[in-house]
Structures are given as C-alpha cells and as structure tokens.
Amino acid sequence: MTPEASGTGEAGTNNSGKTPLSLSPELLGAVRRVAGTEHLLVAMDFDGTMAPLVDHADDSRALPRAAAAFAALACLPRTTTALISGRALGSLRAVAFPPEETLLIGSHGAEVWMGPGSAPLVLDDAQRELRGEVRQVLEEIAAHAPGTLLEDKPAGVVLHTRLAADDVAEDAVAAARAVLQDRRGVFLKNGNRVLETSVVHASKGEGITFLRQATAATAVVFAGDDTTDEDALGRLLAGDLGVKVGLDFTQAEFRVESPIHVGELLEALLRERKQALGA
C-alpha cells in the first residue's frame, strides 16, 4: 500500500475546532462508521503507536493526547479498551499506566489480563528448560555483538539490537535465527530492531480474536506500527477499522504517519463515539 492510498491528508479539526487534522476524509468517515457500532473494542499497540519508539524501553511513554483520549474512551458505555503489546505485562503496566478498565494482552498474546483474578502465565517444566536453553544461546551471541542486550519475558527472551550498528544487529539476528529457527518448541518473531523468542505459540492476531469473543464486540478498532501488528490487522473483519502507523507495507486499509497522529485518531474516535452514544 502506498502512503497516497492509505488515508492520510489534511482534513477536519480537533476538539477545539482550530487546529487542522492530518486525518483524511476517508479515515474520518471510517471512524464515524465504526463509532456507531453496538459494542466497540478499541485495541491499541503501545510502542511506536501510542508512544514514540525510544532507545531504552523503560523510557517509553504514551503521548499526552493519545493517553487522554484512550482513557476517556475507557469510561464510555458499551466501549472496551485494550492494549495488545509485545511487552510483558509488568513492563507494559510500568510504562503505559493503563486505565483501570483497560484489558491487557502482553508478550504477543502469551499473557492475558482480563481483570482482577486473571491467572498469570505459567510454563511447564519442559518449557522452562527450553527457555533457559534459548537464553544461553542468546547470551553467547550478545556477548560478541556490541550494543545488543537481552530482555527476559515470562514466555521467552528478546534480543534487542536498537543500540547496535546495523551490520552488528543483522549478524546477531542471523546468528540467532540460524541456531533457533528449527528448534522444536521455539517460536521467533522479528520486530523493530528486536528478535522475539518464545516457548509459547501466540500472536497479536490471536489476541484480537480472543478479545473480540470475550467482550462480545460488534466492531474493533486496532492500530499498530510493527511487523507483529500485521497479525492483528489480518484478523480484522468487515466493519472493523485497522490503521497502520508509519510507512512500512501493511494490509491495513488506512495509515497515519506517526504516534502524534494516533492521538488525533483517538480524539476523533472519542468524539464520534460520544455522539453515537448520546453521551
């Protein structure tokens, strides 16, 4: 999909009625349509979508406009908000400060929080042993790849390469894939300067499908920026709204250029949802 065909452009005004929006008339029309559904699920990726990408994961924060509109959506009737992230749930909570009502999908779908009493992810003995073997492989690779580092998650280990030189990052990821890609029970995903490893088969697509069924949503809005978000975008149905953040190839019908515009998108959705509900 080309940027010209993706639904970006100059149109509309924000809540103050003064500042031009970057959302196209086509995207605003799609927002208006989906906002009128009976039960709306607003599911968002976090890093690179509500929050700009940063070098250090702990420094990530949602942009204020996106956070405020998302929190306001969470308070509306017949409206469910969710975050679907590659982060572990603990990491996601630490940086996203999600509204109390917001449902959480972490570790690319391996972790699920549906409210108080939700059971944590528990690996069996074989999975724990395999996760340890994966970590040993990645530790050896990272030791010879300056600028790379490891992040432990409940279901696996992540090789981060954002701080490494491009050639070092490529070599490290290639080395890890060469060792791990055929290992039974290990699942690999490429992301923005990361290689995700997991001993639990899960995806953001499965997360979207689960949330739709669990909330009885009649329409879903999902926005994401990464390769792994394509799994979720691919699970959307007719009547849903999928938005790609950034200029990479996508199967989404619409796109916005950056997290700044995600704030505008959520504000437009909030405005249209409140009108549809008579709130």
9 pLDDT higher than 70: no
Helix residue spans in the chain (DSSP H)? 25-35, 64-74, 89-96, 125-143, 166-180, 204-215, 229-233, 259-277
pLDDT of residue 192: 87
Catalytic, 45? Answer: yes
Residues of the chain with pLDDT > 70: what percent? Answer: 92
pLDDT score, position 160: 96
Q: Which of the four pLDDT bands, split at 50, 70 and 90, describes residue 268?
A: very high
Read off the tokens for 192: 């923005």
Q: Answer whether 265's CB lies under 8 Å from 31's CB.
A: yes
Query: Of the residues 45, 225, 226, 231, which is catalytic?
Result: 45
Per-residue pLDDT tens over the stretch 109-150:
999 999 999 999 999 999 999 999 999 999 999 999 999 999
Average pLDDT, the chain: 92
Query: Quick check: 11 pLDDT over 50?
Result: no
Tokens of 265: 């998108």
Token pair 């979508």 is at which residue? Answer: 49
Domains within the chain, CATH numbers bracketed:
3-120+203-277 (3.40.50.1000), 125-198 (3.30.70)
What pTM did the predictor assign?
0.87
Residue entry with tokens 């059971």:
119
CA distances from 275 to 19, 35, 36, 272 (A): 20, 9, 9, 5
3-state SS class at 43: strand
pLDDT higher than threshold 50 for residue 1: no
* Residue 49 pLDDT grade (very low, low, confident, very high; cuts 50, 70, 90): very high
